[in-house]
Amino acid sequence: MAYDITLINGDGTGPELAAAARKCVDATGVKINWDVQEAGVDIMGKTGTPLPESVLESVRRTKCALKAPITTPVGTGFRSINVHLRQELGLFACIRPCKYYKGVRTLYSNLPVDLVLFRENTEDLYAGIEFEKGAENTAKLIDSINSLAAGRKILTPASETGVSIKPISVSGSGRIVKAAFEYARENKRKKVTAVHKANIMKHTDGLFLEVSRNVAKQYPDIGFEDRIVDNMCMQLVQKPELYDILVLPNLYGDILSDLCAGLVGGLGVAPGANIGPNGAVFEATHGSAPKYKGLNKVNPTAVILSGMLMLRHLKEDAAADRLEQAVAAVIAEGKSVTYDLKADRNDPSAVGTREMAEAICAKLR
């Protein structure tokens, strides 16, 4: 059987990483028909958009994509392509495993860190419902909010206030929490922890917590607890081994997935999956690192492991196991790895992106 898969090359170091991941996935022997698509800042001059409709059409057709990183400008320009893809394709669940592999440099190498984060993808402050300071709509919104507050002026004047709205729904919260529990059951995990700030945001995070508790009752075989997000950050730094699966609203999920990646060695070893009822996109947690573009320098592990998650999604579990074991073996040996995986980042024996991918393929063979 051959699978039709969309391969999104991305920009910056994206094309190099996409090529490395494709090579390793192909080396497992799973037959894939790759539909290569271009997206990002590198093609805006040709298409007028960083995300051509052809990319979305391809993913809708194949229902599965492996995506290399794409640049999102800070504070200006187009909104995140990653966010747009997830919302446009209904990819409500962002799944980010953070697992320690022997040989990776980290302060937590003596602990069995093996966390999986389930981040809700479509709601919260990332819904993009924002009002610019000084705008007419902002002024009306602020007047309405202050009026509802029974005369208490709770927002400063519209001329100096930007406003963002945080939608959290019963249905959106329910499906991401259920996805976390289903994953726990399927993968013999022991506990799900819901992360929130319900002590302050009682009608948004409070709703998320209430829904989490109700869903947990349907899974008596899986442990459940909740943590306030700031306390969760401290707990993860002090004793990450106590946690298993975390389920979080969108913004907290984004922040804590980077924190957890730091526990296991950084974003270079942090894969990710975005899954919905009609498709899935697999991508690394890290960005496009444009300053390293074309230098054959960046660590391909996160994108290759995202390919491993894709194989698991396709139910090619044996191939996924072999690929993960090959990555782990190369990292543990420490010979054919990129500079960031060396004890000394200036170690002249460090290899490039292509060479590390080739070493992983050699292990597979």
Residues recognised as catalytic: 126, 197, 230, 254
Rounded to 5 degrees, φ, ψ at 276 are -140, -175
Q: Which DSSP letter does residue 89 get?
A: T
Give residue for tokens 């306030």.
228
What kind and span of H or E run contains 176? helix 170-186
Cα–Cα distance for residue pair 324/285, rounded to 1 Å: 17
8 A C-beta contact, residue 307 and residue 58:
no
Question: What single string gives the DSSP state of each residue in 258-321?
Answer: HHHHHHTT-GGG-EEEEEETTEEEEEESS---GGGTTSS-S--HHHHHHHHHHHHHTT-HHHHH
Amino acid at site 38:
E
* Token reading at 248: 């979080």
Cα–Cα distance for residue pair 214/202, rounded to 1 Å: 16
Q: Is 233 exposed, middle or buried (0-12, 13-18, 19+ CB in 10 A)?
A: middle
Cα–Cα distance for residue pair 337/297, rounded to 1 Å: 10
Nearest to 41 by CA among 75, 7, 13: 13
